[in-house]
Amino acid sequence: MSYKKFIPCIYLYRGDAVKGFTDHTIIDTNPAALAGFYGDNGADELIVYDMSEGDAEHEEALDIIKAICCEAEIPVIGAGNVKRMEDIKKLIYAGCRKAALNYSKPDNVALTAEVSAKFGSDKIAACVSEAAAISENADILEQYVSDIILVKEKELKEAVRVSKQPVIASVPDVSLDKILELLSKDNICGISGNAINENAKELPAIKQLCRNNGISVNTFEPAIRWDEFKLNTDGQIPVVVQDYRTDEVLMVAYMNEEAYHTTLQTGKMTYYSRSRKELWVKGETSGHYQYVKSMTADCDKDTILAKVSQVGAACHTGSHSCFFNEIMSKEYEASNPLKVFEQVFDVIKDRKIHPKEGSYTNYLFDKGIDKILKKLGEEATEIVIAAKNPNANEVKYEIADFLYHMMVLMAEKNVTWEEITAELARR
């Protein structure tokens, strides 16, 4: 199903999120945290406009965009400061789902076919100020661009009439009736701009209003009705809560019917407190909210498994998880691949910060990037040679050596496993 999207903007200027292209009033000095706020409150995508000046400031902006992409947990469209193919590549490599070309610049128009061939039309959007630019470049846009971002409201009517691509309408603060009117148009796939920025906290309620008016929007609609669950004698159901990134079990709580529906409507995990006998929004007093990513019932429909994005600690003690009182433990080797990678990587990073005499890892760091790359190349060659051997064990050993040296390179270049796995997931 194709949903109508709500897409806030971050106007990035000198490291801060500002109000707009011409209004540089600072609204947040931490753009990455602002991106997380938008993602947690029901935004479907995010547009980041890089308004930096000069190469050095542009590189700093790319680092911030990278942090935004990690924090947002929703697709990011990177826009601004695009002059050549390399700039599109940097936005994509920073984690942006799409990169936008500015169609008020002829050089950007000329880049369209080249960057689309390189990255795919689904990765390319076009920012358009004048509806005439859509008509003049109709063939290019239709063939090489997935979305058109219209940044001037007065051009909207004509842009919708002539565009063969979905239009994201950037509009100032408008009434709910106007939002409903715009989203009811077939060719408008989403709304962006200050109309969304300034109403971000109300997005769940606005989306519900859209649904009530027959507009398809992305909301939490349950596949299981409350009366289908097998409840305990108090009319409640236990909820096991996991960190959606790591699958770590964070806590267990209970929901009644009101808590269930409130969670689905707001996107924030809401429980029923059996001790206080009242509804309980997790994080309402501590700020340690849990934003729901998925909810799944077990085979008997008497327990819910919720995967969440946890802000801060899940436990009232300050622990990330409530499960830390060990009862017994039998020695075993951890086999979760990502956990093993993280454990080894943590040791490598620690060696970089706290050198240990005689450490081979510190020897590599001391010799520098050229030595690390030389060893990485040698280990890659060893894998190729081992693969010709019928004994698979040799390949296993060589791959392990390669991965170790790769992690040394990651530590040297400040690349994390989370960034690697996020990039693989996007692909």
The domain locations on the chain are 5-212, 226-310, 337-426
Q: Going edge to edge, which strands form the sheet with 290-297?
A: 249-255, 237-243, 304-310, 290-297
The DSSP symbol for 329 reads -
Mean pLDDT on 350-379: 95
pLDDT-derived band at 165 (thresholds 50, 70, 90) equals confident
Mean pLDDT on 400-424: 91
Residue 426 pLDDT exceeds 80:
no
Q: What is the pLDDT of residue 306?
A: 97
Give the mean pLDDT of the chain: 92
Residue 83 near residue 99, CB atoms below 8 Å: no
pLDDT-derived band at 335 (thresholds 50, 70, 90) equals low
Q: What percent of the chain has pLDDT over 70?
A: 99
DSSP, collapsed to helix, strand or coil, labels residue 84 as coil
Q: Which residues contact 44 (CB under 8 A, 6 or more apart)?
A: 3, 5, 6, 7, 74, 75, 190, 218
Q: Which residues contact 92 (CB under 8 A, 6 or more apart)?
A: 78, 99, 119, 123
CATH class, domain 226-310, is alpha beta
The mean-pLDDT minimum among 88-97, 296-305, 402-411, 413-422 falls in: 413-422
Residue 332 pLDDT exceeds 70:
no
Q: What percent of the chain has pLDDT over 90?
A: 74
Mean pLDDT on 410-417: 93
pTM of the model: 0.79
Residue 425 pLDDT exceeds 90:
no
The closest of 261, 319, 325, 320 to 295, measured between CA atoms, is 261
CA distance 218 to 80: 28
Architecture in CATH of 5-212: Alpha-Beta Barrel (3.20)
Quickly count: other Cβ atoms within 10 Å of residue 75's Cβ.
Answer: 18
Tokens of 376: 């990485």
Q: What is the pLDDT of residue 87?
A: 94
Q: What is the pLDDT of residue 260?
A: 97
Q: What is the pLDDT of residue 220?
A: 83
pLDDT-derived band at 288 (thresholds 50, 70, 90) equals very high
Q: What is the pLDDT of residue 34?
A: 96
Q: Which residues contact 350 (CB under 8 A, 6 or more apart)?
A: none
Q: What is the pLDDT of residue 28?
A: 96
pLDDT digits (tens, 9 = 90+) for 198-253: 888 889 889 989 999 999 999 888 999 999 999 999 999 999 999 998 889 999 99
Higher-pLDDT residue of 331 and 258 is: 258
At the fourth CATH level, the homologous superfamily of domain 337-426 is MazG-like (1.10.287.1080)
pLDDT-derived band at 155 (thresholds 50, 70, 90) equals confident
Q: What is the pLDDT of residue 334?
A: 63
Residue 173 near residue 200, CB atoms below 8 Å: no
